[in-house]
Amino acid sequence: MTGETNSSFLFECYTKLPRVPEKLLPRFRKLCGLRYIDILLHLPVGILKRVYRTKLSECLSEEISVLKVKVLRHQAGRNRKSPYKIYVSDTTGETLELVFFNNGAWLKNSYKEGEEVTIAGTVQFNLTEKQMHHPENFPKYKTLDDICGVTPVYPLTAGISHKVMCNTIEAVLKMAMQEKFVEWLPEKTLEEFNWPRFMAALYHIHKPENEDCINPHSPSRLRLAFDELYAWQLALSKAREENAHLEGIAHSLENQKLREQFYTNLPFELTGDQKRTLKEIDADMGHKSPMLRLTQGDVGSGKTVVAFGAILTALQNGHQAAMMAPTEILAIQHFENAKKWLEPLGVRLGLLTGKLKAKEKREVKKQIADGEIDLLIGTHALIEDDVLLPSLSLVVIDEQHRFGVKQRLKMTKNKAPDLLVMTATPIPRTLALTFYGDMDISIIREKPPGRQEIDTRVFSTEKLEDITASLKRIMEKGEQVYWVCPLVEESEKSDLAAATVRFEYLQQFYEGDVALLHGKMKGKEKEEILESFRQGEFKILVSTTVIEVGVDVPNATCMVIEHAERFGLSQLHQLRGRVGRGSSHSTCLLVYAPPLGVYGRERLNVMRETGDGFIISEKDLQLRGPGEALGTIQAGRMFTRLADLAEHADLIPQARDLAHTEEKLETRLKTEPFTTLFNIFQKAEATELIRS
């Protein structure tokens, strides 16, 4: 590595772009990013291949042909809806019609009669004439070498044309190639994989000679993907180091009377995976450095029982614990479970959510301040400024993947508490290594004894009446039904069945036995409906996906998911997990609207064939991409822009190995060229990005 520094030009926020009107700059910023480097990281998603032909007779119908032609005449349409035509001829005199489906008066300057122009487009061979619709028209200073060959196709937005995007990227690339750029990858790594240097990789992608610019396994694409994954792994290493330097609490594991009593009272034995996970948690909690552990467990695998065990270890040591859930419904459910299992052991409980009345909040906060609460359960209200647990030693986060050091320290005035994150969304190994590489991971695969596999069947909407009639048999057995719809109300742009419409439909058959639940209801109203359903007052709950996470009604044995083809695999699996929570036989009916597309059919087949959430998550990654495969909780938080985790999974261990071999990581991260690497991928504040 050299002591040189990289130019700051690429990391500047642009206030203007070459040949781009100022009014378009906000669209560029939204589409690409704020900096010049973001323009270059806006990579192509396809290609155009232009082929020069000297005459019309050589053109092929499936290619984009480049022709030099002479403009003969213009012909305006009979009215505004008629096409505007320009007649041109090649060197042999053969005529070609250029067709424009708009007012073509503005074309007279671009296509002056009697002049030669260079155009490109697909020639359509009709019975009596040859036509080219809306051809590209190239300025005279463009040579055939500039025009012909492979041209990248970029993601666009309204107001930014392909031509404007290509010209902008070309101009920024030209400026960047004149700058000195210090390489951050070791020479041996570049040689081992035969990868180009960073700027050379960008040049090959934006100025391609062949289709490699869109091939995820081309040397240039692999190089850039590796850079991003490498930046991630360095950031994760730094986050892990910072966590290790924090002063935590070493819990004694000798006296576990509370926990032993809790597990003795359970009506079932812990599974082998649950016992192993508890041992891993115990090992972490016994150390002085704070625990940072992610526990993955499929729906119904018993993660909460494990979490309660960890909580009791903290309480047995004279400390406090907090348990945070993403929704009020889930927080209340955890509170009710804790009242059932932990309160009889003498555990003092508190519930704090954002929707509590001001008087109720004040009372809970007073109990916290007076040390009258051992376990505080709630939503994000737990990290409000005036919520302070003076002896907090463990934070359990359910279905909220990121919770930073700052948030933990905010809840206590003493040492950094241990952190246990639980997720019921099985995460593929590639995603876990990329996004949670700073955390230790425990996996609970086994289901508790007595849990049965859910019988999953697929039906067309044409069988809707039969499905409706079949619910009677389930209800006669005293069991209950979920019916899930994707929308709350009808939309002019969608033919999806709305929950309100399905509720009214089912009321015709089972009046008085049907309840409706959706996201637009107030929190108290939702909880009242769910509680009534739990108590068996209603036999059918028509709902949107608000029931996706955490709702637990063991008596519900049938799940109907309408328009199942519109859901992703992980979401379907989460929804299906709402049934099969008791010992009775359970069924999931996936109802689709024909015709069923290829990907829709594949998703439904996967659901029918397996109940293993880890297999489903891997398939979901292949079919939907990493952003969606992480589940709805992670929506909008997909951080990779160059690496395709489905295509570049093999690079992740290599990036980790290189990051872990760096000597004196803290020192190196403050020097060139590593600051450049973080600047490029906007990970200069690595810990802030990853830990919060």
The answer to whether the beta carbons of residues 63 and 51 sit under 8 Å apart is yes
Counting Cα atoms < 13 Å in the Cβ hemisphere of 445 gives 5
The secondary element (H helix, E strand) that includes residue 307 is: helix 303-316
For tokens 């000679």, the residue is: 209
- Helix H, strand E, coil C: the string for 322-390 is EEECCCHHHHHHHHHHHHHHCHHHCCCEEEECCCCCHHHHHHHHHHHHCCCCCEEEECHHHHCCCCCCC
Counting Cα atoms < 13 Å in the Cβ hemisphere of 189 gives 19
Segment 338-386, tens digit of pLDDT:
999 999 999 999 999 877 888 888 888 888 888 899 999 998 888 777 7
The answer to whether residue 653 is domain-embedded is: no
Residues 109 and 161 reside in one and the same domain = no
Residues 164 and 15 reside in one and the same domain = yes
Q: What are the DSSP E strand ranges found in 424-501?
A: 440-444, 455-460, 480-484
The answer to whether the beta carbons of residues 85 and 97 sit under 8 Å apart is yes
pLDDT of residue 126: 84
Q: What are the DSSP E strand ranges found in 485-597?
A: 514-517, 540-543, 556-562, 587-592
Most confident of 72-81, 293-302, 535-544: 535-544
Segment 190-225, tens digit of pLDDT:
999 999 999 999 999 999 988 889 999 999 999 999
Does the model's pTM come out above 0.85?
A: no
Calculate mean pLDDT across residues 571-597: 87
* 416-430, 526-540, 624-638: least confidently modelled range: 624-638
Alpha helices by DSSP H, 511-660: 523-534, 569-576, 598-609, 613-624, 626-629, 651-660
Written as six digits, the tokens of 559 are: 């799940």
Segment 497-508, tens digit of pLDDT:
578 889 999 999
Residues 100 and 205 reside in one and the same domain = no
Residues in the chain: 692
pLDDT of residue 405: 52
Number of domains in the chain: 4
**Orientation of helix 598-609 relative to helix 569-576, angle to 10°:** 40
DSSP-assigned letters across all residues of 220-260: HHHHHHHHHHHHHHHHHHHHHHHHHHS-------S--HHHH
Written as six digits, the tokens of 602 are: 């594949």
Residues 354 and 484 reside in one and the same domain = no
* 128-137, 158-167, 397-406, 591-600: least confidently modelled range: 397-406
- Name, in order, each residue with C-beta under 8 angstroms of 355's C-beta and a sequence gap of 6 or more: 328, 522, 523, 524
Calculate mean pLDDT across residues 669-674: 68
Residue 124 φ then ψ, to 5°:
-100, 125
Written as six digits, the tokens of 481 are: 């039904």
Residues 394 and 276 reside in one and the same domain = yes
pLDDT of residue 495: 47
Distance of CA 159 to the CA centre of its chain: 27
- Name, in order, each residue with C-beta under 8 angstroms of 369's C-beta and a sequence gap of 6 or more: 388
At 488, the pLDDT band (50, 70, 90 cuts) reads: low
Residues 90 and 41 reside in one and the same domain = no
Residues 412 and 520 reside in one and the same domain = no
The answer to whether the beta carbons of residues 247 and 288 sit under 8 Å apart is yes
Most confident of 94-98, 292-296, 450-454, 486-490: 94-98
Residues 593 and 471 reside in one and the same domain = yes
Return the ∠ at Cα 347 (arms to 343 and 350), rounded to 5°: 85
Residues 148 and 164 reside in one and the same domain = no
Alpha helices by DSSP H, 477-520: 499-510
Helix (H, G, I), strand (E, B) or coil at 556: strand
Range of the domain at 38: 9-45+154-215
Beta-carbon count within 10 A of 194 CB: 9
Distance CA 420, CA 403 (A): 10
User: In terms of Cα–Cα distance, which of 110, 112, 87 is closest to 98?
Assistant: 87
Return the ∠ at Cα 167 (arms to 163 and 168), rounded to 5°: 115
Residue type (1 letter), 570: S
The sheet carrying 292-297 orders its strands as 349-352, 375-378, 320-324, 392-398, 418-423, 292-297, 440-444
Select from 610, 633, 662 the last residue of a domain: 610
Beta-carbon count within 10 A of 366 CB: 11
User: In terms of Cα–Cα distance, which of 4, 39, 19 is closest to 179?
Assistant: 4
The secondary element (H helix, E strand) that includes residue 407 is: helix 405-410
pLDDT, the chain, mean? 84
Select from 444, 464, 485 the last residue of a domain: 444
Q: How far apart are the first and last CA of the chain?
A: 32
Select from 575, 610, 645 the last residue of a domain: 610
Calculate mean pLDDT across residues 116-122: 95
DSSP-assigned letters across all residues of 201-221: HHHHHHS-SSGGGG-TTSHHH
Residues 326 and 419 reside in one and the same domain = yes
DSSP-assigned letters across all residues of 672-692: TTHHHHHHHTT-TTHHHHHH-
User: In terms of Cα–Cα distance, which of 288, 278, 276, 293 is closest to 252?
Assistant: 288
The answer to whether residue 649 is domain-embedded is: no
The answer to whether residue 74 is domain-embedded is: yes
Written as six digits, the tokens of 59 are: 């053109």
For tokens 């010049």, the residue is: 36
The answer to whether residue 65 is domain-embedded is: yes
Residue 121 belongs to a domain with what CATH number?
A: 2.40.50.140
Residues 436 and 517 reside in one and the same domain = no
Report CA-CA distances (Å) from 674 to 6, 46, 225, 656. 10, 31, 16, 15
The answer to whether residue 675 is domain-embedded is: no
Segment 10-50, tens digit of pLDDT:
888 899 998 899 999 999 999 998 999 999 999 999 998 99
Distance CA 458, CA 560 (A): 10
Residues 459 and 577 reside in one and the same domain = yes
The answer to whether residue 589 is domain-embedded is: yes
The answer to whether residue 636 is domain-embedded is: no
Residue 520 belongs to a domain with what CATH number?
A: 3.40.50.300
The answer to whether residue 692 is domain-embedded is: no
* 297-306, 432-441, 654-663: least confidently modelled range: 432-441
Distance CA 274, CA 310 (A): 12
